[in-house]
Amino acid sequence: MNKKERKPLIRELTLTVLSLSAAMIFMWFLFYAVINRIIMRQVTRSMEHVSRQIISEMEKSFLNLEEVSFAIKHDEGVKEILRQTDHSAVVEYAGKVEAKIEQLAQDDMFVDNLIVYSVAGDFYRFAGNLDNTSVKYVIQSVEHGGLKSQIRIKVEEKNYIGYVSDIYDVNKKIGGVVILTEEAEVYRLFELAGKDENLRIALAADGRVILSNYPDYIDKDASVIESESKYRLYRKVGVTPFGLLVSYEDSNRSISIIFFVAMLIMALILFAILEVFLYSWRKKFFSPIQSVITEVEGFEGGKGEQLPLTGMEHFDGLVRGINDMVERIEQKEKEVFEASFSLQEAELKKQKALIVSLKKQISAHFTVNILNIIKALSVSGENERAGLLCDGLSFLLRYANAGDSFISGMDEFFVLSKYAEIMEIRYPGRFTVDIDMVDELEEIELPRMLLQPIIENSIVHGIIGGAAESVGEVHLFSEIAGDKVRFVIEDNGCGMSAAALTELRENIANADAGDVEVEGLSHVALVNIERRIHSYFGKEYGIIIGSEPGKGTKITVEIPRCKRFA
């Protein structure tokens, strides 16, 4: 990752802390959801248990209404009262059954008024304190209203609910019974049964709510309330028209809201703490270290340059350590450079000594041989050929003893052509040398006397030393491609065996080891040429050799193009 793509440390820390905070808040919400679900389940179970208890307790009171009504309408004494038309007879029979009816009514204090009436309109009040007018109003409301099971009526400024039942004598209606209870008594029961303000208790008659401690339930269909309430329990009271409904308003909602708000407040506090934490660490740690990193990334060193101090003691120690390390590295680099420079100078001196050695060999051994040939030619009267050898030897000696280390490719090829002419006169009819010179050679520079030893090896060892019957051929040409130049010298001489070629290649590969000594213009000269190329241009350049016995040898010298050296 490059410098521009890398995120600052403080940003990395901020993203990490925010990710951890988000994960923590998520786990917090998950915990809330699980706990809330468990609480709701427990509340539901608890509500169902409480609702059953409430309904059971209230059900007793309403079932007693049914029992009282059932006992009265099947009592023979009551029926005798209703059969009488004489008022005195009604009073007589009523006295006989009054004690029994009062006992039934007293067993349930829920009964406020108990009235028995005949189809003729006569009535007898067994319990209650309604006056006659009110009683007649109640009877009239029941009969003319067509009420068959329950009644809700307001009498003497009080609201009553009532249970209505017909009395029959052999399938003939002879009267009825009305049991009235004040609504206040029902609400009192609601209060006693449901002390939890979240409990909503309702009394339904024929499926519709008539009384409830929750006003919104009144006159609503009980089935609708059941479908809308999350927690509810509805039970019909025996065969009466009444039913009891208990629902539970989720009080946990307020707890949930409080818990949710608390979570938000805690999250805000958490983020505030994190911000303080990030600010503190940004100031004391990340800003200084980021400053050090930025300075190090842009630090180039050299000339005694040092990183600036941050002002924080902990990091200034780090900066001083880096500065000391840079100073030591610069010192080591200087020492390495000086050592490398010394080695390069030593190598150059070695190469110069090699060149001097080659020059001496040309100046001595080669010169003596050529002079002997010139003498022989003069004695035999071949003065023209002797003159050519004199001119060639003179040119070659000036070339070998020139001061410049480098020479243009064109000049090198021209010198080699002069050398070839001398060798052809020395060994007449034994070989020919073909040198291809192109204009691009004028722009190419190469070390002096780099190719001459290779030409000599091809002539002396490849052709003359091979004692071939046919005329030998030596071909020299150049290949210029991109930033590289290749000089190719190939002959059709005796070549080398595989073992000799392998040994020569190994010697050339180990040329830099320095364990191959120069003994003259022989194959070992190729090792010295490899050393010179590495010294001037580096190890990516050098000599490539190919040879086969009886077919000749091909040597390729590769150097960089147009690279000048002093």
Q: What is the mean pLDDT of residues 38-54?
A: 70
* 146-155, 447-456, 484-493: range with highest mean pLDDT: 484-493
Residue 33 CB neighbour total at 10 angstroms: 10
Phi, psi (5° rounding) for residue 198?
-85, -10
- The position carrying tokens 């040092």 is 306
Q: Does 557 have pLDDT greater than 90?
A: yes
% of the chain at pLDDT higher than 90: 7
Q: How many residues does the chain have?
A: 566
Strand pairing class (406-408; 208-212):
unpaired
CB-based contacts of 505, cutoff 8 Å, min separation 6: 545
Q: How far is Cα 564 from Cα 566, in angstroms, rounded to an integer? A: 7
Q: Are 534 and 350 within 8 A, CB to CB?
A: no
Per-residue pLDDT band at 224 (split at 50, 70, 90): confident
Q: How far is Cα 283 from Cα 291, in angstroms, rounded to an integer? A: 11
DSSP conformation letters of 209-236: EEEESSGGGTTSBHHHHHHH-SEEEEEE
Roughly how many angstroms between the first and final C-alpha of the chain, as a whole number? 42
Domains delineated in the chain: 74-190 (3.30.450.220), 344-560 (3.30.565.10)
What pLDDT is attached to residue 243? Answer: 78
Q: What is the mean pLDDT of residues 155-177?
A: 85
**Structure-model confidence comparison of residues 241 and 451, the more confident one:** 451
Q: What is the mean pLDDT of residues 544-552?
A: 90
Average pLDDT over the chain reads 75
What pLDDT is attached to residue 348? Answer: 63
Q: How far is Cα 113 from Cα 110, in angstroms, rounded to an integer? A: 9
Per-residue pLDDT band at 524 (split at 50, 70, 90): low
Q: How far is Cα 82 from Cα 86, in angstroms, rounded to an integer? A: 10
Per-residue pLDDT band at 478 (split at 50, 70, 90): very high
Q: How far is Cα 371 from Cα 363, in angstroms, rounded to an integer? A: 11
The two tokens of residue 558 are: 């590769």
Phi, psi (5° rounding) for residue 466?
-85, -15
Q: What is the mean pLDDT of residues 77-102?
A: 72
**pLDDT tens per residue across span 170-215:** 888 888 888 888 888 888 877 776 666 677 888 887 778 888 877 7
Region of 304 on the Ramachandran plot (φ > 0 left; ψ -120 to 50 alpha; else beta): left
Per-residue pLDDT band at 560 (split at 50, 70, 90): very high
Collapsed DSSP state (helix, strand, coil) of residue 117: strand
Q: Are 475 and 489 within 8 A, CB to CB?
A: yes
Half-sphere exposure of 226 (CA within 13 A, CB side): 13
**pLDDT tens per residue across span 301-354:** 555 566 676 665 555 666 676 677 767 777 777 777 777 667 666 666 666 665
Q: How far is Cα 273 from Cα 61, in angstroms, rounded to an integer? A: 61
CB-based contacts of 513, cutoff 8 Å, min separation 6: none
Single-letter residue type at 169: D
pTM listed for this prediction: 0.41
Collapsed DSSP state (helix, strand, coil) of residue 435: strand
What pLDDT is attached to residue 434? Answer: 93
CB-based contacts of 425, cutoff 8 Å, min separation 6: 373, 385, 388, 389, 392
Q: Are 494 and 468 within 8 A, CB to CB?
A: yes
Q: How far is Cα 152 from Cα 531, in angstroms, rounded to an integer? A: 127
**pLDDT tens per residue across span 100-155:** 766 665 555 567 888 888 887 778 787 888 888 888 888 888 887 766 777 888 88
Dihedral through CA 49, CA 54, CA 60, CA 61, nearest 10? Answer: -170
Per-residue pLDDT band at 3 (split at 50, 70, 90): very low
**Structure-model confidence comparison of residues 295 and 176, the more confident one:** 176
**Structure-model confidence comparison of residues 281 and 547, the more confident one:** 547
| Window from 62-76, 442-456, 494-508 with minimum mean pLDDT | 62-76
Q: What is the mean pLDDT of residues 3-26?
A: 65
What pLDDT is attached to residue 545? Answer: 93
What pLDDT is attached to residue 520? Answer: 41
Q: Are 114 and 68 within 8 A, CB to CB?
A: yes
CA quadruple 171, 173, 175, 177: dihedral sign: positive
CA quadruple 406, 388, 474, 460: dihedral sign: negative
**Structure-model confidence comparison of residues 490 and 243, the more confident one:** 490
**Structure-model confidence comparison of residues 24 and 167, the more confident one:** 167
What pLDDT is attached to residue 75? Answer: 80
Cα–Cα separations (whole angstroms), residue 507 to 111, 450, 487, 527: 131, 18, 21, 7
Q: How far is Cα 341 from Cα 361, in angstroms, rounded to an integer? A: 30
Q: Does 551 have pLDDT greater than 60?
A: yes
CB-based contacts of 489, cutoff 8 Å, min separation 6: 451, 454, 455, 458, 474, 475, 476, 554, 555, 557
What pLDDT is attached to residue 490? Answer: 94
Cα–Cα separations (whole angstroms), residue 110 to 60, 64, 113, 205, 206: 10, 8, 9, 17, 20
**Structure-model confidence comparison of residues 182 and 50, the more confident one:** 182
| Nearest residue to 518 via CA among 404, 353, 272 | 353
Q: What is the mean pLDDT of residues 211-239?
A: 76
**Structure-model confidence comparison of residues 113 and 233, the more confident one:** 113
